[in-house]
Amino acid sequence: MSDKLNVLRKLAIPFPITASFRRQARGYASQYFTQQTQERSYFNSLAVLVADAYFRLLGFETNVTQPERWNAVRRLWSEANELELRGLGNLECCVIATEQQSVILPPESLSDELRRGVAYRIGYLFVEIASSEKSATLIGFLPAFHRETTDAEVAIADLQSMDDLIDYLTQQEASSLTDSLAERVQTNDLTGEFAEKKITYLRNWLNNIYEADWEPSMRDLRSVTCKKNLQLAEQVFEIQLSVSQNNDELIFVRVNVQCKSGSLPRGMQVSVPDESDIYTETVNEAADLISIPLELSSGEEFWVELRLGETFIREYFIA
């Protein structure tokens, strides 16, 4: 046994396979038709159940208890060999036999990774199932898009240890928390800004309720358009919002801005928030209109800013 493999096995995690695990795995595997697929699904399911029990002991949240997780009809794209760690992504569980020296990653696994993107898969967890089917060993892992995962065959000795996996997941959790906090700060900043401003509620327009400074200009069964004049840098501009809603979740808005006295001035900018960024249209040549489409969640806050040089004005809305 090589030194690398010896260290890997010293850091491996032994774990019992309970009778309930075996019953659940057989029940899931029985949903498939061929004996070969049933056997493969059975061992994959054992690996997932063992991994799930281990990670839940460490405090991770998983998706194993969701009923659809074990419905083969609803999982045509896989045989349930991936374990979701909430907020982090999926670990694909790869079963290996005792004393196996290498493992061949399924070709569909590699190509599927490219289709779905790195956000969906954390990496590959390798689980050794004893011939008695009463115990398993979590041997090691490879992170997604690791150099070793570019080849179909991977030597067991080249795996990273379970200690490495825990360190990796801890880093991913910290990164996820940082992103979440940053997003929350941005959201709170936007909400704080709204608390101090006059807000136009677009849903009211759909119910035939209009603010005094907005003039309805067009209406049909599904949409309404209102306009308003804004003065900026001694010029008068017309801002027009067309609002429609096809379901309870999304509201579609088109923002149109034009100058009342002719073409829009060069250098003029119209901006709207775009998730964590700002989207801006700039007038670089003679133009009569700037038009920006938006797709918003019901109740979402946003603003429209008109800027000319150092002078700007903002209108605030809730979809």
Token pair of 222, please? 């599904």
- Asked if residue 152 belongs to a domain, the reply is yes
Question: pTM of whole model > 0.75?
Answer: no
Same domain, 237 and 303: yes
Same domain, 230 and 177: no
Same domain, 67 and 213: no
Same domain, 111 and 70: yes
Q: What is the pLDDT of residue 44?
A: 92
Express each pLDDT in 246-270 by its tens digit.
776 789 999 999 999 889 999 999 9
- Four-CA torsion 3, 8, 12, 17, nearest 10 degrees: -90
Token pair of 75, please? 């999982």
- Give the closest residue to 229 by CA, choosing from 243, 214, 218: 214
Same domain, 173 and 263: no
Of 138, 155, 181, the one marking the end of a domain is 181
Same domain, 156 and 246: no
Q: Is 273 helix (H, G, I), strand (E, B) or coil?
A: strand
Q: What is the pLDDT of residue 225?
A: 96
pLDDT reading at 112 higher than 50: no
- Asked if residue 186 belongs to a domain, the reply is no
Which of these ranges, 21-30, 100-109, 161-170, 273-282, has the smallest mean pLDDT? 100-109
Range of the domain at 305: 199-318
Most confident of 57-61, 165-169, 238-242: 238-242
Express each pLDDT in 283-311 by its tens digit.
998 889 999 999 998 888 899 999 999 99
Same domain, 283 and 159: no
Same domain, 154 and 214: no
Same domain, 56 and 170: yes
pLDDT reading at 116 higher than 50: no
Same domain, 309 and 173: no
- Asked if residue 16 belongs to a domain, the reply is yes
- At 81, the pLDDT band (50, 70, 90 cuts) reads confident
Which residues make beta-bridge pairs with 160?
141
Side chain identity, residue 123: G
